[in-house]
Amino acid sequence: MTPARRALENPAMRSVARTGVKYALGGDTESVPYWLRWGLARAQAARRMRRLVRGTAIVWPEPGRALAMGRDLPTPGGGQVLIRAEASAVSPGTERAFFLRSRNTSATFPYFPGYSLAGEVVSATGEPPVRVGERVAAAAPHASLALVEASQVYRVPPGVSIEDAAFVQLGIIAINAIEQASIRPGDAAVVLGQGVIGQLLVQLAVAAGASAVGSVARTDRRVSEALRARAERVITLQRDGIEALEKFRPSVILDATGHPGAIPLALRVIEPGGTIVIAGSPREPCEEADLGELADKEVTIVGAHAGRLLQPAEAGSKRRAHGYAQRFFRLVAGQEVDLEPIISARVHPWEADWFYRRLARDDDAMIAAVFLWDRLEATDRMQRVSYLTGPDLAPLRRARKAGSPGRLVRDNRLSFAFMRGRLARTRGSPDEVLRIGLIGCGERGASYPRAIAAAGNARLAMVADVNADLARELGDRLGLRWGTKPEDLLESDDIDAILVCTPHHLHAAQAAEAARHHKHVMVEKPLATSLKDAVAAVEAARASNVCLSMLLQTRYQPHIRAARELIADGALGSLLGSTTIFQHDKLLGYWAGGYSGRSRSDWRARAETSGGGVLIHSAIHYLDWLGYLTGETIVEVSAEKATLDSPTEVEDTIAAWMRYANGAIGSLHAATCVRGNEPIGTVELWGTDGQVSLVPPHRFFSLRRVAGYRPGQWHQLPSAPSGGSDATEYFRRFAAAVLAGKQAEISAEAALQLQAVVEAFYESATAGKPVAVSQPP
């Protein structure tokens, strides 16, 4: 360690320097350590008359948070090499403990994690034992660049991939433990723990000649076929019990758990005269062990911490480390050690925060992981910087703002291509056209002809309404045949599909009738006023083998589609919660004739004909979004509803919570008596890895690198190239599906599920207790 680095690591010196830099920076204390490192790099470079390069490094600014940011290094001095990393290996157990600042860890934050990487030498001075262009592995933190003493660099031989070579330090740790165990042919060896070191130890114990090697863990979440193939016996303590381990009669036990209960367990089951090697790093004091048992069995306990071999200073340690590294490479090249089944995740450095949070949740399925540095842009991996170039503090600032909207980042190049690709997949063939008949020429029915015409693969063929004036007006306006009875449409051979836009209570029966006439059916929402009627309609459609779909066209708004694709790509992770709000000031006239007054009727205000108020009229769209966006199903709801300030039987206010099948919890608040509001509908979703806010300006934040967006900052949702209104998109997709002989995207089953949720809300509000959502047939 250089004197400058020693000074940097000294708490007292850090404090003095911190205070000085703090005043220089006007009190920005969080930036101080980065300025100190920035200054240190320049001091080192100046002392050796070297230039400076900047790479990207993983840093933990504080416990529990990670980010990737620029880090400067001097070009190599005498006996040093500069490595451009391609992969760095994560040791999950150790890094998780340090990330969470667990007991027995010594990290000072900001902390640069990692200790094993591999890449290519890009610069070397003097006469080091390696040359520019050589593939090497070394002990260095997770970063795209590493400055390492040449004597501590291991050449990667042909036949070993750079990704495997990145595990060299973990290999040294495991080989050191095997050496300490002094395994002899015929020994029955047991490895406690199935983390990365545990799985390496199993393979190495087999290679060392143990006659039988057992692998033991609490659960079988990390057991793979590869592990079963190597280990003679895989023991899961929860299932098999300790007795299974005792029957194995181990004479050597390698503890790679770091668990405080491992030593007492090992003492209990080991054969007299055996050896227990501690390869994992316990984070807690050992659970009470009986030293009498240790003595009576004449067991030897050996510590196998490989710290001195990882950055060896003395000649003896260097020799051992090089020997172990080369042995590790030979075993990998000879396929006696196979790392492929052990690597659970390959991580883009920008996703460091997501990755470490996942690790912090104690994901048992994670065995080992690698950061892949070659996925970065060339300039992010390495670029020359000057002495005057300031530190790269942008990621730190972004991380500080992660809890607030901050400045939205638009990336039109990415978003445009992203959406165009998605859109292209939805277009049908222009040569075929779906012929549609419209039942109901009131407010909703009269609003769709333009959207149908714009779809390109559908056209309106005929309209009908019991009100002859409405039918005639619309038919004449569009130049179409018109009728006053549904049968006029249903019995026409030149109509393929029916669009039902009548009052709610007529939907289900008319849809069923259309299906019985072998017409495909589109129903304005809701499908019915009750789940029972909705089921009848769907069963009729199934019996006639026609498509039945509900007009939930708002899901095709560009930002909703974009959000869905991002969520499908992992932007949210696992859903944790949602809020849904709909607010509107519905004027008195609406209840007597809708917004337009085209059809004078109070059916909207009456419970029997409408089936409900704000929930079934309006909020149903947002309930649809929840399932459409997340893929999760609502399984239980609890609601309160009231008619507070509207001349209606149906509710004008509803408040509710809902539970999703995965355990997430959401809330809903909808009202049509909110003075001064144009319709406002917002949904916010959050999950383990991010958040999507469908509140203008629509935006998202994710720890994952999805669709090319940089993780860890807010982005505006991409704007799709418009192919027309959301209703146009609906008709285009429905027509494309029918013409292709496929099920409609908004299927009868989806419509039923939504109907079941709506009914559960109303049932709960009436009963005054939570209600489980029915599973419709």
Partner 1 sequence: MTSRRVLKPRPGEGGQPGSLELGEGARLDPAPGEVAVDITAALLDPLALVATEGEARSSAGFCGLVAEVGPSAAEHLRVGQVVVGTGPLADAVTVPESDLDALPPDSRLSAKQAATIPYLASIERALAGFPIKPGSRVIVAGRPALRRLTAQLLTASCPDASITGLGLRASQETESDGRFDALIHALGDPAELDSALSALRHDGEALLLVPPGRQVLALDFYPHVHRSCVRMVARRVEAQARTATGRDAGYSRLARLLRQRRLDVEAAPFEAWDPADQRELPLAGIARAGKLLTVSWRAEPAPV
**For partner 1, which is the closer residue by CB, 306 or 752?**
306
Compute the least distance from the CB of residue 268 to partner 1, in Å. 13
| Chosen residue from 281, 415, 549, 755 binding partner 1 by CB under 8 A | 281
Angle between helices 620-630 and 748-767 (to 10 degrees): 120
Q: What is the DSSP letter of 368?
A: E
Long-range contacts of 178-181 (CB under 8 A, 24+ apart): 178/204, 178/205, 178/208, 178/254, 179/324, 180/277, 180/302, 180/303, 180/304, 181/205, 181/252, 181/254, 181/275, 181/277, 181/302, 181/304
Pairwise CA distance, residues 295 & 426, whole Å: 74
Can you tell me which residue has the tokens 């399925």?
365
By CB under 8 A, is residue 450 in contact with partner 1?
no
Can you tell me which residue has the tokens 């649809």?
624
E-only strand ranges, 501-545: 520-524
412, exposed or middle or buried, with CB in 10 Å at 0-12, 13-18, 19+? exposed
| Chosen residue from 11, 303, 430, 696 binding partner 1 by CB under 8 A | 303
Interface size with partner 1, residues (CB under 8 A): 29
| Chosen residue from 102, 300, 530, 643 binding partner 1 by CB under 8 A | 300
Compute the least distance from the CB of residue 292 to partner 1, in Å. 5
Compute the least distance from the CB of residue 342 to partner 1, in Å. 23
Asked if residue 293 lies in contact with residue 318, where contact means CB atoms within 8 angstroms, the answer is no
| Chosen residue from 11, 133, 185, 292 binding partner 1 by CB under 8 A | 292
By CB under 8 A, is residue 272 in contact with partner 1?
no
By CB under 8 A, is residue 302 in contact with partner 1?
yes
Query: Of the candidates 526, 531, 537, 530, which has an alpha carbon nearest to the alpha carbon of residue 501?
Result: 526
Count other Cβ atoms within 10 Å, centred on residue 68. Answer: 27
**For partner 1, which is the closer residue by CB, 104 or 412?**
104
| Chosen residue from 8, 107, 122, 294 binding partner 1 by CB under 8 A | 294
**For partner 1, which is the closer residue by CB, 176 or 713?**
176
Angle between helices 620-630 and 558-568 (to 10 degrees): 30
Query: Of the candidates 731, 729, 733, 746, which has an alpha carbon nearest to the alpha carbon of residue 459?
Result: 731
**For partner 1, which is the closer residue by CB, 257 or 553?**
257
By CB under 8 A, is residue 642 in contact with partner 1?
no
Pairwise CA distance, residues 542 & 241, whole Å: 52
By CB under 8 A, is residue 274 in contact with partner 1?
no
State how beta strands 434-439 and 458-464 pair.
parallel
**For partner 1, which is the closer residue by CB, 156 or 267?**
267
**For partner 1, which is the closer residue by CB, 9 or 288?**
288
Pairwise CA distance, residues 625 & 627, whole Å: 6
By CB under 8 A, is residue 296 in contact with partner 1?
yes
Compute the least distance from the CB of residue 112 to partner 1, in Å. 21
Compute the least distance from the CB of residue 102 to partner 1, in Å. 11
- CA 739 to chain centroid, in Å, comes to 35
**For partner 1, which is the closer residue by CB, 173 or 650?**
173
Q: In what order do the strands lie in the sheet with 634-642?
A: 714-716, 699-702, 690-694, 680-687, 575-583, 665-671, 653-660, 634-642, 771-772
Among the residue ranges 183-191, 294-302, 376-384, 753-761, the one whose residues contact partner 1 (CB under 8 A): 294-302
User: What residue type is assigned to position 441 of the chain?
Assistant: C
767, exposed or middle or buried, with CB in 10 Å at 0-12, 13-18, 19+? exposed
**For partner 1, which is the closer residue by CB, 126 or 316?**
316
Among the residue ranges 143-151, 283-291, 353-361, 587-595, the one whose residues contact partner 1 (CB under 8 A): 283-291
Among the residue ranges 142-150, 276-284, 345-353, 395-403, the one whose residues contact partner 1 (CB under 8 A): 276-284
By CB under 8 A, is residue 285 in contact with partner 1?
yes
SS3 522: strand
Asked if residue 735 lies in contact with residue 458, where contact means CB atoms within 8 angstroms, the answer is yes
By CB under 8 A, is residue 287 in contact with partner 1?
yes
**For partner 1, which is the closer residue by CB, 180 or 728?**
180
Tell me if the bond preceding 711 is cis, omega within 30° of 0.
no
By CB under 8 A, is residue 579 in contact with partner 1?
no
Q: What is the DSSP letter of 703?
A: S
Compute the least distance from the CB of residue 288 to partner 1, in Å. 5
By CB under 8 A, is residue 295 in contact with partner 1?
yes
Compute the least distance from the CB of residue 289 to partner 1, in Å. 6
| Chosen residue from 12, 49, 229, 291 binding partner 1 by CB under 8 A | 291
Q: Can you read off the two tokens belonging to residue 508? A: 């289900």
Among the residue ranges 55-63, 121-129, 275-283, 547-555, the one whose residues contact partner 1 (CB under 8 A): 275-283
SS3 220: coil
Q: Can you read off the two tokens belonging to residue 30? A: 């969080």
| Chosen residue from 185, 229, 238, 298 binding partner 1 by CB under 8 A | 298
Ordered DSSP codes for 457-468? SEEEEEEE-SSH
**For partner 1, which is the closer residue by CB, 309 or 478?**
309
| Chosen residue from 14, 48, 283, 542 binding partner 1 by CB under 8 A | 283
Compute the least distance from the CB of residue 176 to partner 1, in Å. 9
**For partner 1, which is the closer residue by CB, 288 or 608?**
288
Pairwise CA distance, residues 161 & 685, whole Å: 41
User: Per-residue contact track with partner 1, 304 to 323, x per CB under 8 A?
Assistant: xx-xx---------------
Compute the least distance from the CB of residue 246 to partner 1, in Å. 20
**For partner 1, which is the closer residue by CB, 288 or 476?**
288
Tell me if the bond preceding 11 is cis, omega within 30° of 0.
no
Compute the least distance from the CB of residue 279 to partner 1, in Å. 8
**For partner 1, which is the closer residue by CB, 62 or 288?**
288
Backbone angles phi, psi at 577, to 5 degrees: -170, 170
Count other Cβ atoms within 10 Å, centred on residue 547. Answer: 23
State how beta strands 153-155 and 135-138 pair.
antiparallel
| Chosen residue from 278, 567, 658, 756 binding partner 1 by CB under 8 A | 278
**For partner 1, which is the closer residue by CB, 269 or 385?**
269
229, exposed or middle or buried, with CB in 10 Å at 0-12, 13-18, 19+? exposed
Compute the least distance from the CB of residue 267 to partner 1, in Å. 10
User: What residue type is assigned to position 489 of the chain?
Assistant: L
User: Per-residue contact track with partner 1, 248 to 267, x per CB under 8 A?
Assistant: ---------------x----
Among the residue ranges 185-193, 221-229, 282-290, 614-622, the one whose residues contact partner 1 (CB under 8 A): 282-290
Compute the least distance from the CB of residue 300 to partner 1, in Å. 5
Q: How far is CA 360 from CA 370, 574, 689, in A?
A: 16, 15, 13
**For partner 1, which is the closer residue by CB, 201 or 735?**
201
**For partner 1, which is the closer residue by CB, 300 or 719?**
300
| Chosen residue from 107, 286, 333, 454 binding partner 1 by CB under 8 A | 286
Q: How far is CA 38 from CA 72, 74, 755, in A?
A: 7, 10, 60
Residues 6+ apart with CB under 8 A from 736: 426, 427, 428, 429, 457
User: Per-residue contact track with partner 1, 171 to 210, x per CB under 8 A?
Assistant: ---------x------------------------------
**For partner 1, which is the closer residue by CB, 286 or 592?**
286
By CB under 8 A, is residue 289 in contact with partner 1?
yes
Chain residues in the site for partner 1 (CB under 8 A): 104, 180, 263, 278, 281-292, 294-296, 298-305, 307-308
